[in-house]
Each structure stands twice: as C-alpha cells, then as structure tokens.
Amino acid sequence: MKPVRSAKRGRSRRPAKKPSLFAAVFRFVLYLTPFVLAAILAYVGYQDRLVREQFEGKRWALPARVYAGAAEIFVGSVYDASGFEWLLGQLKYRKDAQLSTQGSYIRLGDEIVFKTREFRFWDRAEPARELRAQFADGRVILLEDMNTGKPVALLRMEPAQIGSFYPAQREDRVLIKLDQAPDTLLKALFASEDHNFYAHHGVSMRGILRAVWVNARAGGIVQGGSTLTQQLVKNFYLSSERTWWRKLNEIVMAIILDARYSKEEILEAYLNEIYLGQDGSRAVHGFGLASQYYFARAIEELDLHHIALLVSLVRGPSYYDPYKAPERVLKRRNLILDEMVAQGFIPLEVAEEARSHPLDVVADPHQSITRYPAFMDLVRRQLQKEYRPEDLTSEGLRIFTTLDVSVQRHLQEAMLQNLNKLDRHRKPTPLESAAILTRRGTGEIVGLAGARDPESSGFNRALDANRQIGSLYKPVVYLTALEDPDRYTVSTQLQDTAIQVKITGTNWLPKNFDNREHGQVPLFKALVHSYNLATVRLGMELGIAHTAQTLRRLGVERPVELVPSLLLGTAILSPLEVAQLYQTLASDGFVTPLRAIQAVVSPEGKLLQRFGIDVRQSIDASSVYLLNTLLKEVMRRGTGKPALSQMPASLEPAGKTGTTNDLRDSWFAGFTGDYLGVVWIGRDDNQPTGLTGAEGALKIWASAMKAISREPLELEKPDNVELVWVDSDRGGRSEPNCPTAIQLPFIEGTAPDRVTGCGGKPTPVRPRETNDDLF
C-alpha cells in the first residue's frame, strides 16, 4: 500500500512577490537623499560664500576723479561776463532766477548773481555762498556776498571734473549713505518696486501677485515682480542673461542676502549699485551720480519730480531715456507719482504739483571720460611714479591738477584758428601741432595740447614728439658765454663769417638763413637776429660739451649728441622738455620742475600727497638776466617781432623762434610776466612744413598770449648788473640820444671801455682769446 502524501507537500509552491514600482522609487529616493541634500548644501554654501565675499569686501572699484585747478575770482581778475558764464557752464551751473539750489545763476547784462556749491579741497572746505559779480573792460570790478552785502576778497570756485581713471568695466558712481537719501526717494522705490520690502525675506510671492494686479490696473508697468533685494543681486552678482538657472541663483542669493544683512545695509547697497544710464562708454550707477548726471544737483537737493524720474529709470534707463524718449519717461514718472498717492506715501496735491513740472533735466549731461586727453596722459604718467595702476582705477582717489580750463580753451582756439589759416597754403596733408603753457612763477602746467584735435587720444605730441629744436638751442650757447663775463659780454664782437668745421671724414659748412655773412657783429645782435655763423664760431670757442652741460643745468636730462651741429639745434627734444628748459630761464635760473598735479586726496578727504613747488638754483641769476634781456630784444627787433602785431607790445615778452633744416619744424618758446608757452608745428611724417618759427609757431603763441596774459614781463635786475648805453652796430659805449643807441645790461666792471659815439670811429678793441684749432 502506497503512503499517503500530506496535503501540504502536495500543494504547488507560489512565486515570490516582487516589490512595487513606488516602493522601488521610494527606496531609490531614500538612497539619493543624502547626496541630494549634500549637493543642495554645497550649492547654498557656495552661493553664501559668494554673497559674503563681495558684500563684506570691497564692493566697488571706484575710479579716480581728476579735477582742474580751481578758478580764483577777485576784483581785477581777468573775466568778462561772457567768459565767467562760460566757466559756470563748464561747472554745470543752471540758469535759475530763484537760485533755489547750489550751482545756479542768473545773468543780468554785465552782472551775474550765482550760488556756489560747497566743496572740500585738500586744505579746506569752501561753503556754498550767494554772490554777485560785476564786470567791465574784461575784468571783475565787484564781488560781494548777497547775504551780508560785504565785498569778497577772494572766491575759490569748485573745480571742474576733467576726467577719471576707470577700471575695465568703466562703471562710475558717487557713493552715498542711506541717511543722505531723501525720504521721498525711498518711498518712490517702495511704491513702484517693492512695497513689502521690510516684511519679506528677500523674495516676495505676494509682491509678484500684487505687481500683476497693479500693472493691469495702471495700464502699464508700474511695479516689478522682483524685490529690491533681487534687483540688487541681479546687478551686483549676476550677468544679464535670462535663464531659469540664473533666476534660481537670484532667488537663493536674495534669501541669503536678506538673512545675512540688515534691511538698511541692503537698501544702501541698492542705492549705490543700481544701473541708471549710459554716458558714452561710462556706465552711470547709483542715485548719487544719477542726480548729478541728469540734474546737476546733489541728491539732497532733488525735488519730488526729479526723484520720480530717477526711479522711472530703474525699469530700464535706455527704454526710459529722458533725452531720447521724453514722453515715455514723463508718463512713467507720473504713474509712479500716482502709485505713491495710492499707497499713502504722499498726498494727492503734492503729486499734482510734481506732475506740473517738466522733466527738468540738464541740456547736456555728457561728461567725457577724458575731456583733455593729452593733459590727462601727463597726469597719469606723473602719478604712476607714486601710485600703482590699480590704485588709480579702484580706490576712488580725488586728484587735483593745475589745468586752467579757461587757458586751455584759449590755447585750443588759437591752435585751431591759426592752423586752419596755415593749411590753406600748404599741401593736403594737414599740419600738426603741440603746445604747453605754464605759470611763469610756479611751473604749473595750465594748458597742454597734444594735437590740433583737442579730443584726440592717440599720439601725444606734447610729450612724445621728439624733434630737433633748431634755434631754440641758441640761448643755451649764449648763456654759456655770458656765464664767463671776463671773456664775453652782451656787446662782445663776434665774427659772422663763413666757417668750415672739420668732422671725421667730411667738413661741415653751416650757413645763415639768409645765405649772407654779416661780418663783425655784437653778441646781442647775433642772438637777436639768430645768426648761425656767429653762433657756431662762439659755440666752438666755448666747447660743444660745455654748452651741453649748460643744457643739463637748465633742467633737460636727455643726453644730446656732441656734434658741431648741436650748436644750431640738432638736439632732439619734446615740447615738454623745451618747456622745462625755458621755464628755468623764465624763473631766473631756478630749475622749477614742471608739474601737472597739486594734490591727491582719499575718498574720505584725507590728504595723501601734496605736490608743492620744488626749486633749486642752477644758473647764476645775473647771467640769466643778461640773456633774458636779449630775448626781450628778440621780440622787439629780431625774429620774434611779428608777434607784437598780434598781441599788446606792453606785455614786453621774451622769446626765441626755432626752425630746423628744410623747414621741417616750426618752434617758438617765450614768456610774459605771468605765462610761459612753447609751441611746435610739424608733420607726423617729418616732411617739410614750409614754415619758419616766426611764420608758424609764433602765430599760435601770440594768439594764445593775447587772450590769457595780462602781466608785462618786468625782469628784476640783480645788484651786480648795470645798464649801459651802447651802439647797436659797433658795440661801444654810446650816448642815449644816438639813433643806434640801445641800453643793455652788463655785469659791473665788464661794460665796454671804448666809446663809439654817434657815428664816430670807435676806439681800438682789446683782443680776446680764440681757439682757432677747432676751425
């Protein structure tokens, strides 16, 4: 009999039950959760680090601001009413009969009433004042305080900003503190951009929904969905691309920013960061700069209608550009005012009064990155001796320079007008030019042009055009002689006759410009008429190296080639170096380094560096006096005489023309009682200009001096110098009433013994030593 199977053993086995898809997904999620959380934490941590590093570090790279010299106004200063009004225009003053704010004025014929701006210089602060000035005959005749009625002895105007040294992004801003912002500015921002600013945590869903409703009701974009914090994040940290990833970063960073910092810190950063316009390549950031750019006012002086316009720009300064789309921005400004009323920030009547105003923006807000590029180039070079490039583009330094904007204006006009006239008779390639003007007493550079186009930022000819200086070198030769009064005086007889100078492998045969020989001539006459032959003979007697030493003592550090032609000006110098040479002559033998900077100040107003006058006596004052007297004669009766037909002869200038071989370069250097100027005319390809110094450069110099100079040149005679009447042809003593008599200076005891009289035969001249071996 078979055994009976149990029911259990005989039952078929069921397959194992598989887990559900949900359970599998759940387990997978549980598995990934630590990794996801770690990634999220890493992402948030990374964003947190980015937020803190920039917000707690140096938030902005602030460009250095460069200012011109401050105009000083006093009774007797050289301004007519139109010239002073031009100056106010350069300072962005507005016409306003009420003088309602600083930087406003009203002109009444030859009288101007104006309200200055307060300004902190490196040495003291100048307060805002209401003043009245009257003008007559090209000068200030009255300057008084409108509040006290008392005369003002001296007014130092705030200086014009002439440029900045920008970082690569070319962002510009004027930083303000939160307490400087008008209350109406904050209210306008809350009304149009973020009504719930103090309640949300960086991102506001309620704000997004409310913006949709308000915009629909207003029929235009009055509010944005992003909070002020999100807008700050977009401007401060992120690029302008529109992607979901960037939006996620914006939200996360806004939450972090709100959690890390106070609302006041965030709001202050927003006021300084927000982009509000474009001025050429300069980006206008922040309400501090925008108030100056659009209205020429400090932010504290803005009225409600100004503030509403600035807030209008937050949504898009190019779209709501008040200069390109005035009707569009006016409509938006008024919508913002209406929203301020709707949200209870201002009464209806206040909004209505603000709506009644026009846009009220300044006519020309543009401020070029560099108004005077050649001068700014010099400023940068002088600063780089003391400061790193990154200091100039990121530390917000305030740099006060020596430039006089009025002098610069006259210089540019003189160059352009004269070059245009000269070009009419020249080949199609236009002439180029460079010029430098300094204050005679201090060496401060008050005007500088590196090209005929004042806005050219290319090759700076004033600093880098190295050309032969021609007869500008002759005063160096004659000064070298006059420093040896035992051998040479102003009346020493020189031979202006043909000379052959032996040079290795050849002979040098110099000639006079007129191709004539003038025989025996007094030293002063040889210089006054720029005789080449007499100069070469004199220079060879002195020694070429000796004259080069004099050149170095006059402040020129560049080495020169010691060849005989150096005596006629083959020295290669820039206009700036020539200006240094003649500045020493104009300063009575004191080397006065030319400077373009007065002071450097930190953003907080601390004086970092003062560039004072640094002089040293290098040449005997008596010898320089003798030479300068002869340079005045150059202007009275020599090669510089044509200038006196263009400028007042009463200025009694001193100077020297310079012309190089084949008429390639036209030079002039000269000075009056208050200014020194050097002008060069030439071609960039070094082709002939067809101009002598008198035919070209002298014309520009005379035109500029006519416009700016008011002080005649009065040389101070040293105690050991006496004035003696001599015969201009023969060099002997003469009577004052003789037709050929001229009064000249001599070191005591060196005046000629012989008497020429009026046309009589002179007594024999004592022989002097010569060095014939050099000829």
Residues in the chain: 775
Strand locations in 545-674 (E): 572-573, 590-591, 597-601, 607-610, 616-617, 654-659, 666-671
CA distances from 745 to 68, 627, 751 (A): 40, 9, 8
Let me know if 471 is a catalytic residue. yes
**Which pLDDT belongs to residue 18?**
59
Determine contact, residues 482/626, Cβ cutoff 8 Å.
Answer: yes
Let me know if 193 is a catalytic residue. yes
- Our measurement of the distance from residue 452's CA atom to the centroid of its chain's CA atoms, rounded to an integer in Å, reads 17
Question: Could you give the 3-state DSSP secondary structure of residue 160?
Answer: coil
Distance CA 177, CA 62 (A): 15
Determine contact, residues 496/533, Cβ cutoff 8 Å.
Answer: yes
Q: What does R_g of the chain's alpha carbons equal in angstroms?
A: 38
What the block records as the tokens of 135 is 């003008």
DSSP letter for 680, please. E
CA distances from 253 to 44, 53, 70, 227, 273 (A): 8, 13, 46, 12, 16
In this structure, the number of other CB atoms found within 10 A of the CB of residue 707 comes to: 17
In this structure, the number of other CB atoms found within 10 A of the CB of residue 618 comes to: 17
Name every residue whose Cβ is closer than 8 Å to that of residue 417 and which is 6 or more positions away in sequence: 703
Q: Max CA-CA distance within the chain?
A: 182
**Which pLDDT belongs to residue 6?**
45
Q: Identify which of 562, 441, 492, 469 has the alpha carbon closest to the alpha carbon of residue 770.
A: 492
Distance CA 644, CA 377 (A): 33
* Positive/negative CA dihedral, 111, 115, 120, 124: positive
Determine contact, residues 232/257, Cβ cutoff 8 Å.
Answer: yes
Catalytic entry in 394, 471, 491, 728: 471
- Could you tell me where the DSSP H helices lie in 21-101? 21-56, 81-90
Catalytic entry in 104, 158, 164, 193: 193
Average pLDDT, 10 consecutive residues per value, the chain (775 residues): 46 57 67 71 74 77 92 94 95 93 96 96 93 96 96 96 85 91 95 88 75 64 71 80 73 86 92 92 92 93 96 94 95 95 94 94 82 94 90 91 96 96 79 97 96 88 97 98 96 95 88 94 96 97 97 96 96 98 97 96 92 90 97 96 94 97 96 98 93 96 96 96 91 88 94 77 39 26
Distance CA 480, CA 494 (A): 15
**Which pLDDT belongs to residue 690?**
92
pTM comes to 0.86
**Which pLDDT belongs to residue 766?**
39
What the block records as the tokens of 163 is 């440029």
